[in-house]
Chains A and B, each alone.
Chain A
Amino acid sequence: MDSEDDMHDANDLESVDDDFYSGDTGMGSDDGDAHYDFGDNESDDSDDITSRQQQNYAILSEADIRQHQGEDISRVSTVLSIPRYAACILLRHYNWSISRVHDEWFADEEHVRKVVGLLEKPVEMPNARELTCGICFENYPRDCMNSASCGHPFCWACWRGYISTSISDGPGCLMLRCPDPSCSAAVGQNIVELLATDEDKEKYSHYLLRSYVEDNRKIKWCPAPGCEFAVEYVIGSGNYDICCSCSYNFCWNCTEEAHRPVDCVTVAKWILKNSAESENMNWILANSKPCPKCKRPIEKNQGCMHITCTPPCKFEFCWLCLGPWSDHGERTGGFYACNRYEAAKQEGAYDESERRREMAKNSLERYTHYYERWATNQSSRQKALADLHSMQNEKLEKLSDRQSQPESQLKFIIEAWLQIVECRRVLKWTYAYGYYLPEHEHAKRQFFEYLQGEAESGLERLHQCAEKELQVYLDAESPMKDFNDFRTKLAGLTSVTRNYFEHLVQALETGLEDVGSSNSQATCSKSSSSKILGNKSKSGKIKPAGASSAAGAPSRSMDDGNLWSCDHCTFANPKATNTCHMCEHHR
């Protein structure tokens, strides 16, 4: 039972039952977590948010599902020495848990047989030349009749009708019993295959496939509309993020869109809150706002929050707080504060419009702050996703042409866009997190808003660079000399932004435990200890040697004057300190 215990997760008590017999199911779930380094919340495998290699799930196509199902049926059939159709009935009854079938069977075979309708000794049909069908009351030669294992004879036409009626009633046909009302003998796929129409056979097999996914606690359909993949998950393996082959990211546990590092409960609360407030919030989603300077309506048709009003005004402002962009992009003393509700409130951003004044009630105003940022990052992510696709499908080729660069040398652009898409998603969910972070936890809130602000401002720079600065090289008539500088800058921003987000995700996943300088050492020693232990792939991703040196230069030049970038973790620290806020590394 050892392997079973390995599978057992404290959060998931039911997981005990699963699969200590099951063999080669394609993902080796029977081996407990031997093949998977799931981490234990302590380790920093949580750091890589873009390309997690080790998977605790497998994406299954329809063919894969059939294969897994077939293997499970064979296994039970072999171990219990029963026909495949009987193994299938048993598995269906016990929600496709092999270990459950085995446990129940070996504990009390007689009882199990009775419950599912599998007779121990099949009964032959009465031995007469002619028999009367129990449905149509006609007499037929014995050869033209069939029965389940109970021997109650029915003619082929009646069987076909009986099976067909049951199949058209839905998935209950998988638990079909003998038509005789006093008999509970199971009617399995063998009889369906023998007697039903081709159309019904196909429907039955489709229900069987669906059942293997829908009644199986280890498998779920991908929730993306129209997607036909299923996901088999290693129960108890911790990380719930699933990336389906259709490219949709979702949470295994709650099947909402992936929301790491925010937990499912917070997400559910937030989604409920959003639907309760949806009427009040519709205006937030409007794509146009008055320019804070000239009051003309400005439309947002880009992903990044840096808006420039049309000439002659040309005022550069932040879409979210309507403050001057100069307070955002460059470091002008103090920290990035657009993400902070208290800061926005003090500056009177919420007196901006008539509409906002109506929302004077503090609770709604506070919610508005978080909701707008959550929703805007969501739409910004959609835009980035579309940009990523157009980059992959057409623009990269064009750029390669214009700048005389082989496409293989332009991967850094795709990487930048992938990073933007992922970071928008994380950033979006941190606003749900921020909304529920208790007001009175000042230290935690400060730490959180600091990390979130760093991450957000990094992302804005990256997004702007990928969106606007790249355009110049796309529009250029001939190759431009400074394209290599652009490459360095974008690759650097990608790497720096990734680091910021890794810090943010890690901090949220440890519940902001590292707040305060004495604790922050823990973060540092953890990550270094994992490096000492030779956790190559992970530590490699936290700080890719090549990338970090590329990142070093631009991040330092951008942090002109007021900040210094930590050599150890690239975190941007205020000039006034000599020790890195994140890892205690000295300048």
Chain B
Amino acid sequence: MANSNLPRRIIKETQRLLSEPAPGISASPSEDNMRYFNVMILGPSQSPYEGGVFKLELFLPEEYPMAAPKVRFLTKIYHPNIDKLGRICLDILKDKWSPALQIRTVLLSIQALLSAPNPDDPLSDNIARHWKTNEAEAVETAKEWTRLYATGA
């Protein structure tokens, strides 16, 4: 139903995501709703998330691309810019969204956020405080969570 008059842009983006996936990222549309994507991002090397496989969901709202896609982590993750519901604090998903951005650029930005957490613009105050007061310990916790929640299962 939602797929009947899918804009050409979404079809093109989807085709390209499938034919030339970005390294460490996979995104595939759900069978019954072409606006809903199952996403997997590999934890970047040299980050506390290395070795983890993180599941996300991405949804393209009716107004897309005039409005940003909605993205959320499904895998539990210890990160100052991601809260316990998996919501992500990323400027391009909010006021810096531009219709010339794409699903691919969004996912690449999220991958980059895993490599470079930004505790100065936190979504989760507790984790951000932890990061700022004792970064080594916070990184240990992030690694621990990656091991617990983002591997195997």
Q: Which residues of A contact B (CB under 8 A)?
A: 134-138, 152, 154, 158, 161-162, 164-165, 179-181
Is B148's CB within 8 Å of the partner chain A? no
Residue of B nearest to A172 (CB): B95
Most chain A CB neighbours (cut-off 10 Å) among B12, B13, B65, B101: B65
Residues of B with C-beta under 8 A to A181: 92, 96, 98, 100-101, 105
CA distance A137 to B10 in the complex (A): 9
Task: Indicate which residue in A134, A137, A165 contacts B66 across the interface (CB closer than 8 Å).
Answer: A165
Q: Is the CB of A137 within 8 A of B99?
A: no
Residues of A with C-beta under 8 A to B99: 135, 158, 161-162, 165, 179
Residue of B nearest to A154 (CB): B100
Residues of A with C-beta under 8 A to B63: 165
Q: Is the CB of B66 within 8 A of A161?
A: yes
Is B132's CB within 8 Å of the partner chain A? no
CB proximity of B110 to chain A, nearest CB, Å: 15
Most chain B CB neighbours (cut-off 10 Å) among A136, A137, A179: A137
CA distance A154 to B65 in the complex (A): 13
Known A-B contacts A181-B98, A181-B100, A181-B101; A135 and B9 likewise in contact (beta carbons under 8 Å): yes
Known: A137-B12, A137-B13, A181-B101. 9 other contacts (CB 8 A): A134-B100, A135-B65, A135-B100, A136-B9, A138-B8, A165-B66, A179-B99, A181-B92, A181-B105
Is B67's CB within 8 Å of the partner chain A? yes
Residue of A nearest to B7 (CB): A136
CB proximity of B63 to chain A, nearest CB, Å: 7
Q: Is the CB of A165 within 8 A of B98?
A: no
CA distance A154 to B99 in the complex (A): 11
CB proximity of A156 to chain B, nearest CB, Å: 14
CB proximity of B10 to chain A, nearest CB, Å: 9
Chain B facing A: main interface SS = loop
Q: Which residues of B contact A (CB under 8 A)?
A: 7-9, 12-13, 63, 65-67, 92, 96, 98-101, 105
Residues of B with C-beta under 8 A to A152: 100
Residues of B with C-beta under 8 A to A138: 8-9
Chain A facing B: main interface SS = loop
Known A-B contacts A162-B66, A165-B66; A136 and B8 likewise in contact (beta carbons under 8 Å): yes
Residues of B with C-beta under 8 A to A136: 7-9, 65
Q: Is the CB of A165 within 8 A of B100?
A: no
CA distance A164 to B63 in the complex (A): 11
Residues of B with C-beta under 8 A to A165: 63, 66-67, 99
Residues of B with C-beta under 8 A to A161: 66, 99
CA distance A162 to B64 in the complex (A): 11
Residue of A nearest to B105 (CB): A181
CA distance A254 to B40 in the complex (A): 56
Q: Is the CB of A137 within 8 A of B8?
A: yes
CA distance A162 to B100 in the complex (A): 10
CA distance A138 to B65 in the complex (A): 13
CA distance A162 to B67 in the complex (A): 9
Residue of A nearest to B16 (CB): A137
Residues of B with C-beta under 8 A to A158: 99
Top 3 nearest A-B pairs (CB, nearest first) are A165-B66, A179-B100, A135-B99
CA distance A154 to B8 in the complex (A): 15
CA distance A134 to B67 in the complex (A): 15
Task: Indicate which residue in B12, B65, B66, B98 contacts A180 across the interface (CB closer than 8 Å).
Answer: B98
Residues of B with C-beta under 8 A to A134: 100
CA distance A181 to B99 in the complex (A): 8
CA distance A354 to B124 in the complex (A): 56
CA distance A137 to B104 in the complex (A): 14
Residues of A with C-beta under 8 A to B12: 137
Residue of B nearest to A166 (CB): B66
CB proximity of B109 to chain A, nearest CB, Å: 10
CA distance A138 to B8 in the complex (A): 8
Residue of B nearest to A165 (CB): B66
CB proximity of B81 to chain A, nearest CB, Å: 19
CA distance A123 to B121 in the complex (A): 36
Residue of A nearest to B11 (CB): A137
